[in-house]
Structures are given as C-alpha cells and as structure tokens.
C-alpha cells in the first residue's frame, strides 16, 4: 500500500483519490473549527499560498474526536473555513482519526509515522497536561493526540514526518521549502 491507494470524500461529498496528488508535497492535517488551535488555519493557508505553485498541497480533514471541537456539518465547516480564514486548500469530509472507525488513510499515516508526543516536544506542556487528564490512553501510542496533527508526505508518496499539534505552520516553513 501507498498513500496513493487511498480515497476520501471531499467536503462537497465527492470521492477523491489521493493518487490525484501524485507528484505533490502533501501536508495532511486533522482540523477542527472550535479548538484553541483553530487559528492555525491562518498559518496553513499562508503556507499554502506561498508554496502551492512549487507543488505543495495541504489536505484538511475535519475531525470531531477531541472535545467535540468540530460539531458542524461539512457545509458549515466549509463556510467557517472560507469566511474566517479564507481557506482555499482542499478540505475533506469529517472523519475519525483514531479507534475502530478511524479512516484507513489515518491508520496508514499513523503506522508510517507513529509519532512521539511527550515532554521533549517544545511548547507541549499545556496540551500534555490536558491529555494526561482527559485522554491518558492516547499517550505512548501511535494515536493522533489532538487536532492539527500534521503529516508530511513526499512527492513520491512516502510519509516522511509527523508534527504534533503544537508545531505551528510557520515552524514548518523551512522543512517544506527544503523539500520543494
């Protein structure tokens, strides 16, 4: 299996193959509209505008698994992202990223880059404290820990890196520029 073997339904309800993004550098992000990290949409859009001509695609996957922070319908999510953040990068239908109902794409991403979210991650203290209190079962696993976890996929479809939610889009600028 590769990243290009997966499909997802886009925000308008149309099936979309990830093979459509072959040859692009992908940043795949689980997103939410009612999260303390929601302002990262602004940084994601800025990153997209600066680098899309060089081959960057950002794929946003709304997820309501963390604190019920993405309660809206796909239409409401699309409107929120457009009106509040001018999001023009592709958005997909709401999915789950962990558990029995996790989208197969996210199972694959987690398998390829299990991640490590602990005290060694800069600026993670507040989110780690919250996770220890509310979702301790996620710590020490490959599970996505919160909204705005980011997976970087090379132009040839290899999942190369995972960035935990506290890593901002601005902090990814040099990493992305170097791979374009």
- Verify whether residue 35 is a known catalytic residue: yes
Burial of 120 (0-12, 13-18, 19+ CB in 10 A): exposed
Helices (H) and strands (E) in the chain, counts: 5, 6
d(CA 141, CA 133): 16
Sheet holding 159-163, edge to edge: 56-62, 25-31, 150-153, 159-163
Active site residue: 28, 29, 31, 35, which one?
A: 35
- The residues, ordered by sequence, that sit 6+ positions from 9 with a Cβ below 8 Å of its Cβ are 15, 16, 92, 93
Enter the tokens of residue 163.
Answer: 């960035």
Q: Are 35 and 74 in contact (CB under 8 A)?
A: no
Q: Any idea which residues carry the catalytic annotation?
A: 35
């Amino acid at each position: 299996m590769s990243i290009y073997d997966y499909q997802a339904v886009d925000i308008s309800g149309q099936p979309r193959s990830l093979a459509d993004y072959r040859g692009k550098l992908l940043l795949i992000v689980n997103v939410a509209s009612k999260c303390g990290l929601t302002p990262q949409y602004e940084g994601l859009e800025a990153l997209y505008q600066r680098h899309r001509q060089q081959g960057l695609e950002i794929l946003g996957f709304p997820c309501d698994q963390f604190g019920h922070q993405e309660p809206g319908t796909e239409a409401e999510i699309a409107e929120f992202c457009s009106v509040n953040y001018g999001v023009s990068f592709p958005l997909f239908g709401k999915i789950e990223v962990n558990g029995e109902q996790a989208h197969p794409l996210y199972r694959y991403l987690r398998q390829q880059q299990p991640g490590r979210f602990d005290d060694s991650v800069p600026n993670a203290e507040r989110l780690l404290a919250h996770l220890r209190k509310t979702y301790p079962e996620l710590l020490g696993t490959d599970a996505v820990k919160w909204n705005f976890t980011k997976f970087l996929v090379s132009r040839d479809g290899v999942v190369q890196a995972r960035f935990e939610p506290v890593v901002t889009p601005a902090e990814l600028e040099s990493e992305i520029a170097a791979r374009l």
